[in-house]
Structure 1
Amino acid sequence: MGEFNHLDQIREVVIARRAGNRLYLRDIAQVVDSHEDERIITRFNGEPCVKLSVFKEAEANTVEVALAVETQLDELDPVLPEGLELGFVENQADYVAGALAGVRDAAIGAMVLLVLVVWLFLGSFRQVVVMIVALPLTLIINFGLMKVAGFSLNIFSLGGLVVAIGVVLDNSIVVIENISRLRHERPDQASDQHAIGGSAEVGPAIVAATVSFLALFVPFLLVPGLTSLLFRELILVIAGIVIISLAVAVTLTPMLVTIFFGRSTQRRNATRFERFFDRFTDGYGWLLDLALHAPGAVAITFVAVLGLALFAMGRVGGEFLPPIDDGRIMVKVIMPTGAAVRETDKVLRQIEQRLADDPLIESTFAMAGGQVMGLYTYEVANQGQIDIQLVPKSNRDIGTTDYVTRLQPIVAQATAFGGRIMARQMPIKGIHGLRAAEVVVEIRGQEMDSLADLAERTAETMAGMSGFRNVAVSMDITKPEYQVRVDRTKAAELGISVADISGTLRSLITGAVVSRFRQAGEYYDMRMLVPESQLTSRRQVENLVVSGSGGDAIRVRDVANVRQAVGPLEIVRKNQVKQVSVEASTANVDLATAMATLRTTLKNIDRPAGYEFGFGGQAELMAD
């Protein structure tokens, strides 16, 4: 009851009665059945699509959630209308599974190689068996501790296992070798005495070696910022497995040696490798004797090698994280301010057409008029983005970074349609700081005009340097707008506040939901707004009507001054100070070298008093 079921019912609504005449809604407004403005356009592999993002809870496992979503989609497939398909634009579980598989294979390969090396040097299969028993036991105990600590198997925890495996075997190798030596030197002693004596002799040494090894990693836990959070699991896993291996080496390993070797002291014939290694040992002894008799030469050699190492270290570049060849590329399009979403989409289509027949591309996802930030997609009509996924690394002979370089001519051709276009490799998913550009120059000051001028000069300087590309200023002050400056005295005399004026103008321009319309069991918003065709000039804005306190109609021009101007899309402040950023990617140079060159260059740029440069992005993370 009281609901609208047809547009004619809405048109016939009586607005007022005057002198016996009725004023209907259709007399003063158009009532049309339309749809919300298409502000964001999306396509997957060139076909229109709707993107639905699924985010896991903080404690949930990425792979398990992805499998559950895939199961639900499989159940939906049979009931989908004809012509509709469900597919994955991006599945983070694929990257997780691929990374885990790579680290897992590396760990297994490392274990096999280590066992082979042990067998080659120790020459006894029984000793290898002791190692094979000790290694999985150490890992099992460590997995239990990881479960208690709430850790999961990821690239960092598995990486910690790979790093620690060598130390796990080192401790046991030292104990086994020393017990074997005592067995041959003291054949009359009991096996348990060999085990106790051999372990006691090297016990302090392997404890000191283990603590020294931990001292290399544990201090990283004290490093502030993202580095500590990123490598926390890796460091704790290394610490846990090394401590466990120490306990196994001085308890389980001696017992296993006693069980497997018993009282047998028969010495087998030396193998060819052992004879070679004996000659190598003799040579090392000769060299060591020579070094002991010439300490001055040793000291000079040490200083020379140290100096050479320091010199070489200064020539080695630096980055926050190494590039990952996962085949994910982003092409960003920024059109002039005021461009409609259709104009942005036109440029995206041109790029898509140029990439359509490339066999190295597995999929593309294009979005015009939107910008993804965290969990939300914001409407930005003049911006668009194409996410490119290359085929698996095994099916292409070019890396992601090289492919980005190959994209540059295509991007250059598309710029003929207007706007600014940038192509770069996408950052690692899930690490917030990496979503920023590699290099971000933060310019801080008080006046927007001075900030804009300094930012433009900085961007021109960086664009002329060989180590940077995709240089862009974060602030755009070319947004056309009508500025309404309210005369507070006149407004007070007419009984209207600044808040009333701004609220009314916002409702008239962007639309206000005044009721709901029901059709086929569904409810739709009824939105009242002024058509865009009636807001194309300053005079039309001045003639907009707002209501005074007594219901009187007051035109905007009677209480405010309207002028056409341009202004920034947004104003960013850092520590209460206005800031404009200049962003860029590195080109054919490492991040550390690029930043060193940039810092030197920025010192030569004139800037007003009170204005300063700072740095953000991945360069800031690397510095921390």
Structure 2
Amino acid sequence: MAEFFVRRPIVAMVIAIIIVLVGLISLSRLPVAQYPEITPPLVNVSATYQGASSVDVEQSVATPVEQKVNGVEDMIYMKSTNSSDGRMSLEVSFEVGTDLDMANVLVQNRVSEAMAMLPEEVTRQGVTVKKKLSFPLLLISLVSPNGTYDDTFLTNYATINIIDELARIRGVGLAEVLGGSITEYSMRVWIKPDQLSKLGLTVPDITSAIQQQNVLVPAGQIGGPPAPEGTEFTYTVNTGGRFETAKEFGGIVVRSNPDGSQVLLRDVARIELGTQNYLIKARLDQTPAALLQIFQLPDANGLDVAEQVLATMERIGERLPDDVEYVISLDTTKPITEGIREIVITLFQALALVILVVYIFLQSGRATLIPALAVPVSLIGAFAVFPLLGFSINTLSLLGLVLAIGIVVDDAIVVVEAVTTKMEEGMSSREATVAAMREVSGPIVATSLALIAVFVPVAMTAGITGRLYQQFAITIAVAVAISSINALTLSPALAALLLKPASEDKGRLGRFFDVFNRGFEKATEKFMVLTRFFTEKLVRAGILVAALIGGLVVLFQVLPGGFVPEEDQGYVLAAFMLPDAASLQRTEEVMREVEAVIAEFDAIENSTAVAGYSMLSSTIQPNAGFVFLQLKDWDQRSEAKDHARNIVRRLNAAFAQGVKGGVAFAFGPPAIPGLGTGSGFTMMLQDRSGNSPAYLAEQTAAFVSKANEHPAFGQAYTLFRTDVPQLFLDIDDAKALKLGVSLQDLNTSIGAFLGGA
């Protein structure tokens, strides 16, 4: 086969060009990510049972939904979180590689089966099923620097004018204002109980009046067909429709008296435009803000999605009202961009060093040109199979290419050395190439198959670890395979064209090469002395091998182990908690203390703090808060103290001193985006014996206590709470009925006055 390409070198070059072109076309269309896609796809089911406790939500909402969703196709596990604000969040995790759209449809079908068993209040508000990632790609903060607008206006403006445009971007899985619909504008009707009592009215009277009068009634048409002969016009009849202002709501008639007087809504209530709930407060660098979260689809190109979002926000920024600005307060694509850039630089550096080393040893520009051309063909050609295998451009696949440089160059060197040896015997370059390839073709194929056999089993490793290193191993195997093809096609063709008999004149570098050759010969002689020492007696070689194996065993036991090294990803996270049942006002005070501590760190570019929300549990809690900390770029944080790991340590020390009203702690982001919400790992305890939540809490506390005593754990904690202080309202149903009070009206009134309706 090699003789064919020696006679027709253009065919070999065309094959190489085709390999490069296909590789470049594939490269331009490949997604870019930090790591291979190894995170289990998630589908989130959320519902709200307004005013219910966490136990009530678990029993009446979570349990029926879980019973139906359990066992859906390709599901690996599910986890529900029920909070005291009446919210249920069920996360259903699927096998890696599952089609997320199909998983979403299957879960939706199962949830539909459970709808009939849910309380009416839950079905009325709706049960949401949507694809989800556990951590946002971008955070965008909308602020009013001069305080012209409050956070309520900013949140509503973002909901109406920004979110829809961002959600349409290809690759965006979810774009939302933090808190969702609870932060949207709503008409608030604050009832005055004393006035109701004085006028003999009840909450159901007000509810009924609003429902009857705040309606859009399609009145119909005048002159519509069928109509009398001669009808010349048709008019659509409009009625008043829904109310829009507080004044219009105030004019709702609650009761008409026999004397002609009327009780209006404004007589018994204070009406204002506010938000649906007041459960969350967000701030950017101590300034009130609206916080937008952008989540990407699991199979989307994160860098491309982020680029489109930034371009869209730049366009939206031109039409923002005066004194309204947007800030990209967290960009998780920065470490991806920087990491890929560093690896690409390393790739070119390694390629240059390999070519330099080859030139120094071959001492011929023509001979060096052959591996210098063969190596890029092998590396670029490897990208051609990426789309077929579902691979992406990521840290591990590029590292595989860096390692492959030193492997694939060997085949070309073998060809060059073999042809050079034949030419020294007096053959022409063409004859020497044909003769050399008859001798080395078999070894080239054998060594390539041996190398492929080493890396392919790595790709077959089961679990997340196997999927993580699959692209690394396959990338090297493909590069080696293409290298062997080049060694049998392109390298002999180039050797026949380029190689010339060795000349005594080595040019300007002749003196350097002479010195190098003498030094290398001396080093070789000393190495051979050492080699003979171990090969003369088998015992010596055995002792050396045993020592090496023993050293490896010791290193494996001494060195710390881990899944993926914790790196500086350009941002860190923090959380703060107050005692159970602490109010949102107290949480805001602690948030200000946390922000004051953060402001002392020059390495932090901006901080986005949220009171009333915990990303650790993905629940809205009045006694919890969360902070996203975007660090300055790496070139602005050259000192060791400004490394993300050290910033976390310094923050924790500062929080211990500066936060008095609660507990605050900082931690790093997850090593692999999508696997959790922070560094470290998470585990679940299950109570399979049917005991009470208090029993599970007791066992959990004991487990955490033991874990904290273990030297391998820096800190273990749980967010599970069953002893949150609550008030029990004991209603005497029999007495209420005896007094002629409807139980439904009684429950509605309690819910309205206490915010549960």
The interval holding the TM-score normalised by the smaller chain is: 0.7 to 0.9
- Partner Cα distance (1:137, 1:332) in 2: 50
- Match for residue 725 of structure 2? 480
Cα distance, 1:102 vs. partner?
0.8
Once the two structures are superposed, residues 188-211 of structure 1 have per-residue CA deviations (whole angstroms, 9 ceiling, x without a partner) of x33233223323333333333333
The structure 2 residue matched to 1:462, chosen from 682, 703, 707, is 707
- Partner Cα distance (1:104, 1:80) in 2: 39
- Partner Cα distance (2:343, 2:746) in 1: 60
- Partner Cα distance (1:508, 1:198) in 2: 96
**Amino acid corresponding to residue 675 of structure 2 in structure 1:** G
- Match for residue 661 of structure 2? 417
Cα distance, 1:309 vs. partner?
2.1
1:416 partner SS: coil
2:294 partner SS: coil
**Amino acid corresponding to residue 171 of structure 1 in structure 2:** D
Say if 2:621 is the partner of 1:380.
yes
- Match for residue 370 of structure 1? 613
In structure 1, stretches of 5+ residues that fail to align are 511-528, 536-543, 545-624
- Partner Cα distance (2:532, 2:698) in 1: 70
**Amino acid corresponding to residue 455 of structure 1 in structure 2:** T
2:717 partner SS: strand
Note if contact 2:669-2:678 (Cα within 8 Å) is conserved in structure 1: no
Equivalent residues in 2 for 1:559-570 (5 A)? none
Between 1:458-467 and 1:325-334, the stretch displaced more is 458-467
Cα distance, 1:96 vs. partner?
2.3
Once the two structures are superposed, residues 393-423 of structure 1 have per-residue CA deviations (whole angstroms, 9 ceiling, x without a partner) of 22220221122111222111244212x3221
- Match for residue 336 of structure 1? 579
- Match for residue 117 of structure 1? 357
Note if contact 2:378-2:483 (Cα within 8 Å) is conserved in structure 1: yes
Cα distance, 1:230 vs. partner?
2.8
**Amino acid corresponding to residue 291 of structure 1 in structure 2:** F
Note if contact 2:597-2:658 (Cα within 8 Å) is conserved in structure 1: no
Say if 2:263 is the partner of 1:24.
yes
Equivalent residues in 2 for 1:106-505 (5 A)? 106-147=346-387, 149=389, 151-184=391-424, 186-187=425-426, 189-262=427-500, 271-372=514-615, 378-396=619-637, 397-398=639-640, 399-418=643-662, 420-428=663-671, 431-435=673-677, 438-445=680-687, 446=689, 447=691, 448-482=693-727, 505=747
- Partner Cα distance (1:122, 1:7) in 2: 87
- Partner Cα distance (1:482, 1:43) in 2: 31
**Amino acid corresponding to residue 435 of structure 1 in structure 2:** T
1:81 partner SS: coil
Once the two structures are superposed, residues 44-69 of structure 1 have per-residue CA deviations (whole angstroms, 9 ceiling, x without a partner) of 22221112223344554322332322
Once the two structures are superposed, residues 556-602 of structure 1 have per-residue CA deviations (whole angstroms, 9 ceiling, x without a partner) of xxxxxxxxxxxxxxxxxxxxxxxxxxxxxxxxxxxxxxxxxxxxxxx
- Partner Cα distance (1:231, 1:496) in 2: 68
1:156 partner SS: helix
- Partner Cα distance (2:684, 2:350) in 1: 45
- Partner Cα distance (1:382, 1:264) in 2: 81
Once the two structures are superposed, residues 332-388 of structure 1 have per-residue CA deviations (whole angstroms, 9 ceiling, x without a partner) of 1122222222221211211111221422211111111123479xx642222111111
- Partner Cα distance (1:41, 1:27) in 2: 29
2:318 partner SS: helix
1:42 partner SS: strand
Once the two structures are superposed, residues 532-573 of structure 1 have per-residue CA deviations (whole angstroms, 9 ceiling, x without a partner) of 6xx9xxxxxxxx9xxxxxxxxxxxxxxxxxxxxxxxxxxxxx
1:35 partner SS: strand
- Match for residue 552 of structure 1? none
Note if contact 1:157-1:233 (Cα within 8 Å) is conserved in structure 2: yes
Change (3 A) 1:239 1:508: farther
Note if contact 2:671-2:679 (Cα within 8 Å) is conserved in structure 1: no
Cα distance, 1:509 vs. partner?
5.8
Change (3 A) 1:490 1:243: farther
**Amino acid corresponding to residue 530 of structure 1 in structure 2:** F
Change (3 A) 1:97 1:504: farther
Equivalent pairs, count: 506
**Amino acid corresponding to residue 333 of structure 2 in structure 1:** A
Change (3 A) 1:255 1:493: farther
Change (3 A) 1:456 1:21: farther
Cα distance, 1:475 vs. partner?
0.9
Change (3 A) 1:11 1:288: closer
Say if 2:278 is the partner of 1:35.
no
Change (3 A) 1:486 1:32: closer
Cα distance, 1:290 vs. partner?
3.8
Say if 2:747 is the partner of 1:530.
no
Change (3 A) 1:49 1:274: same
- Match for residue 619 of structure 1? none
- Partner Cα distance (2:430, 2:733) in 1: 98
1:89 partner SS: strand
Cα distance, 1:73 vs. partner?
2.5
Once the two structures are superposed, residues 228-276 of structure 1 have per-residue CA deviations (whole angstroms, 9 ceiling, x without a partner) of 3333333322221111011112221122112111455768676211111
Note if contact 1:351-1:410 (Cα within 8 Å) is conserved in structure 2: no
- Partner Cα distance (1:322, 1:195) in 2: 48
Cα distance, 1:23 vs. partner?
7.0
- Partner Cα distance (2:675, 2:337) in 1: 23
1:50 partner SS: strand
1:32 partner SS: strand
TM-score between both structures, scaled by the size of structure 2? 0.60
Once the two structures are superposed, residues 137-186 of structure 1 have per-residue CA deviations (whole angstroms, 9 ceiling, x without a partner) of 223322333355554433232222112111111221222222222222x2
Between 1:254-263 and 1:112-121, the stretch displaced more is 254-263
- Match for residue 67 of structure 1? 307
Change (3 A) 1:487 1:221: farther
- Partner Cα distance (1:84, 1:8) in 2: 28
2:282 partner SS: strand
- Partner Cα distance (1:148, 1:80) in 2: 44
**Amino acid corresponding to residue 478 of structure 2 in structure 1:** G
Note if contact 2:603-2:631 (Cα within 8 Å) is conserved in structure 1: yes
When the two chains are superposed, the root-mean-square deviation of aligned CA atoms in Å is 3.5
Change (3 A) 1:249 1:78: same
**Amino acid corresponding to residue 131 of structure 1 in structure 2:** P
Cα distance, 1:95 vs. partner?
2.6
2:666 partner SS: strand
Note if contact 1:176-1:257 (Cα within 8 Å) is conserved in structure 2: yes
Cα distance, 1:111 vs. partner?
0.6
Note if contact 1:103-1:158 (Cα within 8 Å) is conserved in structure 2: yes
- Partner Cα distance (1:73, 1:8) in 2: 36
- Match for residue 622 of structure 1? none
Cα distance, 1:101 vs. partner?
0.8
Change (3 A) 1:414 1:357: closer
Note if contact 2:254-2:265 (Cα within 8 Å) is conserved in structure 1: no
Between 1:311-320 and 1:386-395, the stretch displaced more is 386-395
1:274 partner SS: helix
Note if contact 1:365-1:388 (Cα within 8 Å) is conserved in structure 2: yes
- Match for residue 524 of structure 1? none
2:330 partner SS: coil
**Amino acid corresponding to residue 392 of structure 1 in structure 2:** D
- Partner Cα distance (1:494, 1:100) in 2: 74
TM-score between both structures, scaled by the size of structure 1? 0.72
Cα distance, 1:105 vs. partner?
0.5
- Match for residue 575 of structure 1? none
**Amino acid corresponding to residue 139 of structure 1 in structure 2:** L
